Amino acid sequence: MNDGEEVEAGKGAEDGKGAGDGGGAGGVEEAVAAAFREEWGQVVATLIRVTGDWDLAEECAQDAFAQALDRWRRDGVPRRPGAWLTTTARNRAMDVTRRRAVGAAKLREVAMLARDGGPGGPRDPDSDDDSGVTDDRLRLLFTCCHPALPVEARVALTLRTLAGLTTPEIAHAFLVPEATMAQRLVRAKRKIRNAGIPYRVPPAHLLPERTTGVLGVVYLLFNEGYAASSGADLMRTDLCAEAVRLARVLARLMPDEPEVLGLLALLLLHHARRGTRVDAAGELVTLEEQDRTAWDRAEIDEGAALLGTALRRGRPGPYQIQAAVAACHTTAATAQDTDWADIAGLYGELERRVPSAVVRLNRAVAVGMAESPEAGLVLVADLEEAGELAGYHLLPATRADLLRRTGRLEEAAEAYGHALELVENDAERRFLQKRLAECRSG
């Protein structure tokens, strides 16, 4: 648990040689890994647009990244890795489609693939929609979030195709077996194909009914990047950056929708602290201890301005309320200046609109800081009795932190031990171990 902080808010080859081998095999591997983080979604989205085949798009994208490991060692990292990867993947799709070709229709598909130049190149006229939006990743996002798909499938499909998360990673985020998640992804792709769900941003009159689902997916995408559910690192900055980018595009597309502006404000206010949440050794730094002078003031100012614009629309919603909570944190000069009473009130309002156990846990933290740790512990006990957060490591971690603040170190150590049994992220695990050691040493 981040002491005193509620649960966080919440993957044609270039002509000429590039920057060389990046310092040997290790440098090339780092370059490929960076390209995967930055380019996966774009490569897959482009291939889905030109092939209409989701599985083929992912297969050819994976093959392109595998080829990059060998080719970049030999030829150097290209100046535009994304263009190289898209061209390589498209050529692979042409080969596969040609081998599968039976009849004129399939041969036309090969010809279409050959004409398409990837990002910025010639486009298939039939792929244009009446939204005027030509961003392939945004098209893919709205396709993944089509209301004909179950909510869980929308999120899973977006995380797989746009963010490049593996099936095991997505299964862990949803707390379901890997086989279950694999079947969920297969069914979602089959539904898109069989129902003829269009690959496009919907026209203006359909945007409002699709907005809530799309915002929810972008929010969850940011959450997975901001507080990774598993792995060595606390954050996956590539996922956060992609979520912010998509939120910006949505805000340009729907500038009069207050919840769209509220979501972008929320993401920016959290993203502004990204450089201070871990130290140079990769260890978690609590909100109380973060260097506020290192926060991104431009993003904070932009987020606060967006929030103000959204609230003036007079239609407050969950994302605007969460953004207001984030603003309480980021506009406080010091941790001691944080208006925890205001935060507790905001979470009370959020709970009325979104009656979830995680929101109640956040409110328990805020009450514990605004009133007393004992008051927060009462609310935590209610959550433990309800059992909705059983297996969620931040519940015992919150209890442990509040107990530590009261000086009940033996009980706190026991709660930290329980949290350690449940945590999956390595950075969080080390933080909890540090707190446990402190409690045991008195």
**Interatomic CA distance for residues 349 and 346, integer angstroms:** 5
Instruction: Give φ, ψ of 207 to 5 degrees.
Output: -60, -45
Position 322: which residue type? Answer: Q
Q: Inform me whether the pLDDT recorded for 10 exceeds 60.
A: no
* Residue ranges in 313-425 assigned as alpha helix (H): 318-330, 340-353, 357-370, 373-386, 394-406, 409-422
* pLDDT tens profile 296-305: 999 999 999 9
Average pLDDT of the chain to the nearest whole number: 84
Q: Inform me whether the pLDDT recorded for 62 exceeds 80.
A: yes
The token duo for 212 is: 């809530």
* pLDDT tens profile 393-441: 999 999 999 999 999 999 999 999 999 999 988 889 999 999 999 999 9
- Tell me the mean pLDDT in the region 46-62: 88
Instruction: State which H helix or E strand residue 159 sits in.
Output: helix 151-161
Instruction: Give φ, ψ of 226 to 5 degrees.
Output: -75, -35
Closest CA to 234 of 196, 186, 290, 192: 290
Other C-beta atoms lying within 10 Å of the C-beta of residue 144: 26
Angle of helix 318-330 versus helix 258-271 axis, rounded to 10: 30
Q: Are 67 and 28 in contact (CB under 8 A)?
A: no
Highest mean pLDDT: which of 24-33, 44-53, 154-163, 401-410? 401-410
The token duo for 266 is: 């929320």
Q: What is the DSSP string of 258-272?
A: HHHHHHHHHHHHHHT
Burial of residue 126 (CB within 10 Å: 0-12, 13-18, 19+) is exposed
* pLDDT tens profile 239-287: 788 889 889 988 987 888 999 999 999 999 999 999 999 898 889 999 9
pLDDT value for 113: 52
* pLDDT tens profile 93-110: 888 888 876 555 555 555
Q: Inform me whether the pLDDT recorded for 163 exceeds 50.
A: yes
Angle of helix 25-51 versus helix 81-100 axis, rounded to 10: 50
235 vs 343, higher pLDDT = 343
Coil, strand or helix: which one is 30?
helix
Q: Inform me whether the pLDDT recorded for 114 exceeds 60.
A: no
* pLDDT tens profile 312-371: 999 999 999 999 999 999 999 999 999 999 999 999 999 999 999 999 999 999 999 999
